[in-house]
């Protein structure tokens, strides 16, 4: 009996097919195109730190974590797979169906299919009522996916992905139009979830930390509207994709192992990757800033999929703005074990500023650099908290009080 030929998908980036993803039985493999091999130096991490450019094919063990990491997780994945009549673990089939608008700059298409080009004609804006309907339907239609909309975005939270028009209206990301914003719906199990995340991101911004741009909108339920940092708007209005990967993808770790306690990366491993992938120690210090922010607000869910690298078209790789930051300690029933331990501490309520500095020392940051950086963030905390309250007036008083209490404790515990 003849062996079935492999199934193939073309991986496009910046308007060019750069690689071919194949599936033989249940195994994935990837090879860069000859054109990509000619255009880029060997070992350039074009797709991923774990998939550098070269002539050899990459095998399933390293290919699967990257491409599976592009797909939704949890219940959202189950529903989408069911609706598409695919198995939940059919990574190849889901990518074939959803890969036209992924995180980063990738467009994944069946081999031989032409790349969709953005039309010069503006798409029809969505009436406000339609946006509200799409949001209400998210539990049953994750990401707003229909037969016209084929989007892949990792994560477990209910999200709607839309494109912002120059008029300020929303449009569906179809016919080659990349999405520009992620609209996140609150999980009904957690009160004030939208305001919580908006407040924590605002606090980070006022501390001078690079964070994703986000605001609360009423549609009519509270929705967190997050501007995609992996998109840019050109002067002519064209939406440009910027490549990115999260740190499970960069480390070739399964999304199911995103927590340290499940065998996932430690902060030290994350810092080592960032130091290797980026230029200088600046991004390692930015990782320290984000770690401080997570400790201040009490975010125990800062796992490896909640950190990403941006791959600029210039070849520069940098730590992406921080995202998915919220106070998990605000919810008493949420596990207080940090997703990645700090100086060996496994309870977020016991981590001190000294723990943070000692953790940074294991990354190779000298205490003469780490201590003043941490101390500077602490000194800015009171004013930054006041400013975040103004930015997010819907932030519940008890959440703000909790963060102020935690901030005061850190302020009274200078690093040494």
* Active-site residue set: 301
Which residues fall within 8 angstroms of residue 133, CB to CB, at 6 or more apart? none
With H, G, I as helix, E, B as strand and everything else as coil, classify residue 223.
Answer: strand
b/e map of 256-288 (b: 16 or more CB within 10 Å)? ebbbbeeebbbbebbbbbbbebbeebebbbbbb
- How crowded is residue 49: how many other Cβ atoms within 10 Å of its Cβ? 20
Distance CA 249, CA 308 (A): 9
Distance CA 184, CA 143 (A): 10
Which residues fall within 8 angstroms of residue 114, CB to CB, at 6 or more apart? none
User: Are 147 and 174 within 8 A, CB to CB?
Assistant: no
DSSP code per residue over 100-126: TS-STTEEEEETTPPPP---SSPPPPP
Closest to 413 measured CA to CA, from 355, 333, 339:
355
b/e map of 215-241 (b: 16 or more CB within 10 Å)? ebeebeebbbbbebbbbeeeeeeebeb
């Amino acid at each position: 009996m003849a062996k079935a030929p492999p199934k193939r998908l073309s991986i496009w980036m910046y308007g060019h097919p750069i690689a071919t993803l194949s599936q033989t039985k249940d195994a994935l493999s990837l090879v860069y195109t000859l054109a990509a091999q000619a255009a880029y130096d060997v070992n350039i991490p074009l797709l991923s730190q774990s998939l550098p450019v070269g002539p050899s094919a990459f095998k399933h063990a390293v290919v699967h974590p990257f491409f599976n990491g592009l797909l939704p997780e949890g219940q959202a994945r189950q529903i989408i797979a069911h609706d598409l009549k695919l198995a939940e673990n059919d990574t190849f089939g889901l990518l074939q169906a959803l890969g036209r608008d992924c995180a980063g700059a990738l467009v994944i298409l069946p081999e031989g299919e032409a790349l969709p080009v953005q039309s010069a004609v503006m798409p029809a804006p969505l009436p406000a009522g339609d946006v509200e309907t799409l949001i209400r339907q998210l539990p049953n239609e994750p990401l707003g996916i229909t037969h016209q909309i084929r989007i892949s975005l990792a994560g477990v939270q209910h999200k709607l992905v839309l494109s912002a028009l120059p008029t300020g209206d929303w449009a569906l990301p179809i016919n080659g139009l990349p999405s520009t914003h992620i609209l996140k719906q609150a999980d009904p199990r957690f009160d004030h979830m939208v305001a919580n995340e908006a407040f924590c991101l605002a606090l980070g911004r006022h501390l001078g930390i690079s964070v994703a741009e986000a605001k609360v909108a009423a549609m009519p339920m509270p929705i967190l509207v997050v501007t995609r940092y992996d998109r840019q708007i050109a002067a002519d209005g064209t939406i440009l994709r910027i490549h990115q990967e999260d740190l499970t993808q960069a480390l070739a770790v399964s999304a199911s192992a995103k927590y340290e306690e499940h065998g996932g990366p430690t902060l030290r491993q994350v810092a080592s990757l960032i130091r290797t992938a980026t230029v200088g120690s600046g991004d390692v210090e930015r990782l320290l800033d984000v770690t401080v922010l997570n400790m201040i607000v009490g975010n125990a869910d800062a796992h490896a999929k909640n950190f990403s690298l941006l791959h600029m078209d210039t070849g520069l790789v940098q730590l992406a703005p921080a995202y998915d930051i919220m106070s998990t300690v605000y919810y008493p029933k949420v596990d207080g074990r940090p997703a990645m331990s700090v100086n060996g501490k496994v309870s977020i309520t016991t981590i001190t500023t000294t723990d943070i500095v000692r953790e940074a020392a294991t990354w190779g940051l000298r205490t003469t650099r780490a201590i003043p950086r941490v101390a500077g963030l602490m000194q800015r905390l009171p004013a930054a908290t006041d400013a975040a309250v103004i930015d997010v007036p819907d932030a519940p008083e008890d959440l703000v009080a909790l963060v102020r209490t935690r901030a005061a404790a850190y302020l009274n515990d200078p690093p040494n």
